[in-house]
Amino acid sequence: MSARSRLRTGVILFGLLHVGVVCAGFFAPYDPAAQDREHPYAPPMRPHFVDVNGRVHLRPFFYAQTLRVGSYDEYEENRASIIPVKFFVRGARYHLLGALPLRTHLFGGDLPLYLLGSDAYGRDLFSRVLFGAQVSLLAGLIGASLTLAIGLCIGAAAGFWGGWRDEALMRVAELFMALPWIYLLFAMRAFLPLAVPPLQAFVLVVVVFAAVGWARPARMVRGIVISAKERDFVRAARGFGASGGYLLRRHILPETAGVVLTQVAILGPQFVLAEMTLSFLGLGMPEPVPSWGNMLASLQHYNVLVSYWWMYLPVVIMVPFFLGYLLLASLLQENSGAAKIEVARSGV
């Protein structure tokens, strides 16, 4: 497969996953916070096409699950009760793309359907994974963009003007890299008022990620800027009297595109993982708002680990996302402007 078609496959796969996440309300059958107290820790349901009588259904159906008498987390399939899957059903209200209020869901049933099972409160894991991805991936994206914006400005300034400015900025960057950021976050959470609305707490945490994480990209950008400003075409432009701002904008910053794009792809998952770490420590998104981090937090309980295997499913679902990001990163690296110039030059 050529690089181009691989890139295309990666982008399509990745795009599809993200469409699912962005339109979580539509694809998820339930409100991610809705509790179904009759079905705690329900295992995932399997879709069927052939019923017990051997009759083939064109429309997939599920068998209802009921708690075994006297048990609180063991279910049995009720073969007498068939739940046909219905499409485009009305259900819990949600806001598509955060704005459009809708009630139509892709699928649903007359009785609860748990594709990936349910958690301790009987909340649908499938819905929670989709909505949780919104939170976690958004955190990754915002965090990465902020980090790079800061890193780019500081790195470019340090590399382009050099001298004492370079010295000062790079020492500050080293200081930031040496910071024990996890303790910084602990401290920051303690300073916030007791009940910070989830979104606000989350944005604050992302801002801190960015504030702390800019140093590494800044150093990379600085390196590229230093080498780029000595290139012949830059010198030539300078000789023709181009101003510093023009040189940066027109000739030098474009050189850093490869690094920046690659860094977006790498930092994205890194921040998703960081958000997970925070939720794991109880610093991230508060219940009942789902995030991949707080979904994994329940796995630290021994009984969950050994009794309910489907609680691991969010992990399985995260893998293609992270692989997608990394695939994208390596492809962007191959296709970046700087690499092309190198290729062109060696070709001459």
Residues that bind other proteins in the complex, under the rule CB under 8 A: 33, 35, 37, 40, 72-73, 93, 101, 120-122, 190, 194-195, 197-198, 282, 286-288, 300-304, 306-307
Place of tokens 């801190």: 208
70 φψ region: left (φ > 0), alpha (ψ -120 to 50), beta (else): left
Choice between 43 and 258, CB closer to other proteins: 43
Q: Say if residues 61 and 48 touch (Cβ distance below 8 Å).
A: yes
Choice between 58 and 195, CB closer to other proteins: 195
Beta bridge partners of 102: 94
Choice between 178 and 306, CB closer to other proteins: 306
Choice between 20 and 198, CB closer to other proteins: 198
User: How near is the Cβ of 213 to other proteins at its closest, in Å?
Assistant: 26
User: How near is the Cβ of 347 to other proteins at its closest, in Å?
Assistant: 60
User: How near is the Cβ of 192 to other proteins at its closest, in Å?
Assistant: 10
User: How near is the Cβ of 117 to other proteins at its closest, in Å?
Assistant: 15
Three-class secondary structure assignment of 80-149: EEEEECEEEEEEEEEEECCCEEEEEEEEECCCCCCCCCECCCCCEHHHHHHHHHHHHHHHHHHHHHHHHH
Instruction: Determine the length of the chain.
Output: 348
Choice between 123 and 229, CB closer to other proteins: 123
User: How near is the Cβ of 169 to other proteins at its closest, in Å?
Assistant: 37
What three-state secondary structure class fits 308? coil
Q: Please, what is the angle between helix 215-228 and helix 257-280, to 10°?
A: 170
Closest CA to 269 of 313, 321, 331: 321
**Which alpha helices (H) appear in 162-243, and where do they start and end?**
163-178, 181-191, 198-213, 215-228, 232-239
φ, ψ (nearest 5 deg) of residue 59? -90, 125
Choice between 9 and 307, CB closer to other proteins: 307
User: How near is the Cβ of 33 to other proteins at its closest, in Å?
Assistant: 8
